[in-house]
Structure 1
């Protein structure tokens, strides 16, 4: 299941984050990460159910989507926070520009 989820994630990330660049606001990144979490949570729930999907899939969707959202929020904090990767890249770029 993990391999399949990883493969699905690799396939949809380029679509969800298409057009994102250095000027993309953080809130847009977070919105797209939430969409990604919703999609991945639904895929995970369906895969977890296996061949028989009943009403329990609704609870599983809620569970897996919440899990994915928490994981995405952690990633976004590391990337978009004040000392995150994006801030460091922008600072390095600004420093490089001022040196030249």
Structure 2
């Protein structure tokens, strides 16, 4: 079996799930939004590096640096976009903190 034989989306998802407890370890409800965003940015950086290497398949070539830049920018953007749904005015976390009975509602 080779790396190219694996389902890349499934592999990336598995790596992402494994990283979350490590990257967000120690986060509490008092953790400021900027610290959560920093961790999300770091998560995107790490995931982008993994994705770039995996994208190369069985052989990592000289274009890996360009791929790392491309994949990390994409992953950082997606992770920060996800965080924005929870942080800031109107975000799910703000709603949760200000109104416990609305904890399960999705922000508009």
- Which TM-score applies when normalising by structure 1? 0.90
Per the alignment, residue 40 of structure 1 pairs with 47
Alignment of 1:1-100 (within 5 A): 1-93=8-100
Report SS of the residue matched to 1:54.
coil
Report SS of the residue matched to 1:80.
coil
Q: How many pairs are equivalent?
A: 95
- Which TM-score applies when normalising by structure 2? 0.83
Give, in whole Å, the separation in 2 of the partners of 1:9 and 1:18: 14
Query: 1:7 Cα shift?
Result: 0.2
**Uncovered stretches (5+) of structure 1, i.e. residues with no partner:** 96-100
Q: Which has the higher helix share?
A: 1
Query: 1:81 Cα shift?
Result: 2.0
Q: RMSD over aligned Cα, in angstroms?
A: 1.5
Alpha-carbon displacement from aligned partner over 1:60-87 (angstroms, at most 9, x marks no partner): 1001100011111211111102000110
Give, in whole Å, the separation in 2 of the partners of 1:68 and 1:21: 24
